[in-house]
Amino acid sequence: MKVKSLIYCLLAFCVLVLSSCGPENDDYVDKVVGEYNIKITPNISVKYGNSTLPITIETIETTAVVTEKDDAGNVTMQINGVNGEISEMFFEGYCDGLGLKLQDYHYDGVFYSPEYGMIYCDIELKNPTVSIYNSRILNWKSTFTTGTCGINISGLDEANYDVTGSIQFEAKGK
């Protein structure tokens, strides 16, 4: 009976020691905090009549900053806008052992298309968990299945069309 109690006590002690050995969320936050050069590649498809029309938007290069929000692993990411090409974006996120989990984001801003000019978009970005294995590289693809964009497709007045697509983000630390 004493041996059994001793074994249970040792097991409980081992579980306690092993559970306290994991890295803190601050370790993960430290991997992502900083300044980045970022490339943004929008891929937008407009529902036009009974068909879907892809809209060409060139890759946009800008900068981003990730800052620590609090001691609980929360961060904010600000992507700087480029006048006439893209509006600013602000993401809230959380760092843990699984990566950087970005919250979904409502983008109400512009993109520039060489073919169609300024496109005013109102879309809901669904964000994934971003791998933080390499602290100086953050890559992810945000998708959207609902939203509208104001665009002049047929040479008539600008109209709002339903859109779907994704935005690829490639950030490299400075």
pLDDT digits (tens), the chain, 174 positions: 565 665 655 555 555 444 444 445 557 888 899 999 999 999 999 988 888 989 989 999 999 999 999 888 899 999 999 988 999 999 999 998 888 999 999 999 999 998 888 999 999 999 999 988 766 899 999 999 989 999 887 666 678 999 999 999 999 998
Q: Evaluate whether 95 touches 103 at the Cβ level (below 8 Å).
A: no
Among candidates 90, 86, 87, 68, which has minimal Cα distance to 77?
A: 90
Note the pLDDT of residue 23.
Answer: 44
Q: Evaluate whether 64 touches 79 at the Cβ level (below 8 Å).
A: yes
Note the pLDDT of residue 18.
Answer: 45
Note the pLDDT of residue 157.
Answer: 67
Note the pLDDT of residue 17.
Answer: 46
Separation CA 127–CA 87 (nearest Å): 18
- E strands, the chain, are 34-48, 51-55, 60-68, 74-79, 89-96, 99-102, 105-113, 117-125, 129-130, 137-144, 147-151, 159-173
Q: Which two tokens stand for residue 11?
A: 């097991």
Q: Is 106 exposed, middle or buried (0-12, 13-18, 19+ CB in 10 A)?
A: exposed
Within the chain, residue ranges assigned H as helices are 2-19, 25-32
Which CA distances in Å does 167 have to 49, 59, 78, 84, 125? 24, 10, 16, 17, 8
